């Protein structure tokens, strides 16, 4: 079979690899029919050292079950399924609390931590198939596939940001970042009824989509100027909930600048820093809370799917390019250069 490998920064290749096969009785083998490139894939694409490669890549996919191990009971060959970016058993105490990204099963983890599997490929061995996979009630060629594919990561991640931020009808929300996660955080905040949704981004095609998803205001300025603009839009005090969907220190500092006293900074952009200001001068003085982490998207699939199936939500609009497996390396470069917002891959 063929799969995508990252050899180092800027070096992505599609190559022949050993076929994925069932290894554990709880595995399923999935033929990938739709996958995508994630904004978080761009971090290693920008910085990966050759000695850390080659690594299989891709953590967002859906496809058709080809085979299952003898202990798998919830999916069967022929089923169309979506896989969250984290493998989980859906039964441990953390999964039962909806925190599937902290599943305590020894086989649990992130696709990015699996040495011999990756979503940007023709097939994937899925561990803990009963816990990880969710059956989709449509055909593999349904027009809803792009939207259903976002349940594997970006929609659930944007929704997680809004949920742990505590968005409700009384909250003013600011979303930092106009990537797919930021835009779907806008859609999520809109779904949760936010009073005001300010999107901070500087790519008009993206912020236009943000407006379509429910953004009430767009701020293209950054830094101090951006902070001042958001404060002006929020009556001077800042936003109740700031969703930080970038992951850089400037984005964190911007969040500190625009969050309201007593408010929440909800982070879902994987932080590219370990230390950050949290003391009296940043979070503590005004009881600012910090929340977020890798989204347990598995917990949200059943909740978000009906709105996709009935057409009231179209998160798949974040895809602005489609390619086959051969086009994946160019897709990375297009996303790195901001020519593409998000690339859908049909292996």
Please give the residue ranges that form the binding site for a second copy (CB under 8 A). Answer: 93-94, 97, 99, 101-102, 104, 164, 237, 261-262, 267, 270-271, 273-294, 296
CB of 136 vs a second copy, minimal distance in Å: 26
Q: How many CA atoms lie within 13 A of 27 on its CB side?
A: 16
Query: What is the rounded distance in angstroms from the CA atom of residue 319 to the CA atom of residue 35?
Result: 11
CB count, 10 Å around CB of 194?
27
CB of 236 vs a second copy, minimal distance in Å: 9
CB of 104 vs a second copy, minimal distance in Å: 8
Q: Which is nearer to a second copy, 47 or 73 (by Cβ)?
A: 47
Query: What is the rounded distance in angstroms from the CA atom of residue 208 to the CA atom of residue 212?
Result: 6
Element containing residue 213 per DSSP (H, E):
helix 204-213
CB of 247 vs a second copy, minimal distance in Å: 9
Q: Which is nearer to a second copy, 128 or 136 (by Cβ)?
A: 128
CB of 26 vs a second copy, minimal distance in Å: 22
CB of 218 vs a second copy, minimal distance in Å: 26
Q: Which is nearer to a second copy, 4 or 254 (by Cβ)?
A: 254
Q: What are the backbone dihedrals phi and psi of residue 42, each rounded to the nearest 5 degrees, phi first?
A: -75, -20
Residues 6+ apart with CB under 8 A from 339: none
| DSSP codes joined into one string, 129-195 | HHHH-EE-SS-TT-TTHHHHHGGGTHHHHHHHHHHHHT--TT-EEEEE--SHHHHHHHHHHHHTT-S
Q: Which is nearer to a second copy, 99 or 181 (by Cβ)?
A: 99
| DSSP codes joined into one string, 53-105 | --EE----EEEEEEEE-TT--S--TT-EEEE-SEE--S-SHHHHTT-GGG--S
Q: Which is nearer to a second copy, 290 or 330 (by Cβ)?
A: 290
Q: Which is nearer to a second copy, 79 or 89 (by Cβ)?
A: 89
How open is the CA angle 335-341-201, to the nearest 5 degrees? 110
CB of 252 vs a second copy, minimal distance in Å: 8
Q: Which is nearer to a second copy, 118 or 296 (by Cβ)?
A: 296
């Amino acid at each position: 079979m063929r799969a995508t490998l990252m050899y180092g920064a800027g070096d992505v290749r599609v190559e022949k690899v050993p076929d994925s096969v069932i290894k554990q009785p709880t595995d399923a083998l999935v033929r990938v029919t739709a996958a995508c490139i994630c904004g978080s894939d761009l971090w290693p694409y920008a910085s990966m050292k050759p000695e850390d490669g080659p690594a299989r890549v891709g953590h967002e996919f859906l496809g058709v079950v080809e085979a299952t191990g003898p202990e798998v009971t919830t999916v069967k060959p022929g089923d169309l399924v979506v896989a969250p970016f984290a493998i989980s058993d859906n039964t441990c105490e953390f999964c039962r609390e909806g925190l599937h990204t902290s599943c305590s099963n020894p086989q649990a983890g992130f696709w990015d931590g699996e040495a011999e599997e990756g979503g940007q490929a023709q097939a994937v061995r899925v561990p803990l198939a009963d816990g990880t996979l969710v059956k989709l009630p449509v055909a593999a060629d349904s027009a809803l596939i792009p939207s259903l594919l976002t349940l594997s990561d970006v929609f659930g991640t944007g929704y997680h940001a809004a949920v742990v931020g505590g968005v409700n009808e009384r909250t003013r929300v600011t979303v930092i970042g106009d990537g797919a996660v930021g835009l779907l955080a806008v859609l999520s905040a809109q779904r949760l009824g936010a009073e005001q949704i300010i999107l901070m981004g500087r790519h008009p095609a993206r912020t236009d989509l943000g407006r379509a998803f429910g953004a009430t205001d767009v701020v293209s300025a950054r830094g101090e100027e951006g902070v001042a603009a958001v404060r002006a839009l929020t009556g001077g005090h800042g936003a109740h909930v700031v969703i930080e969907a970038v992951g850089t220190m400037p984005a964190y500092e911007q969040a500190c600048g625009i969050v309201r006293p007593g408010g929440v900074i909800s982070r879902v952009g994987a932080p590219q820093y370990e230390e950050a200001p949290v003391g009296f001068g940043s979070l503590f003085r005004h009881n600012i809370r910090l929340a977020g982490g890798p989204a347990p998207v598995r917990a949200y699939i059943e909740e978000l799917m009906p709105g996709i199936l009935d057409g009231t939500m179209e998160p798949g609009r974040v895809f602005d390019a489609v390619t086959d497996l051969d086009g994946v390396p160019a897709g990375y470069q297009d996303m790195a250069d901001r020519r593409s917002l998000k690339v859908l891959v049909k292996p």
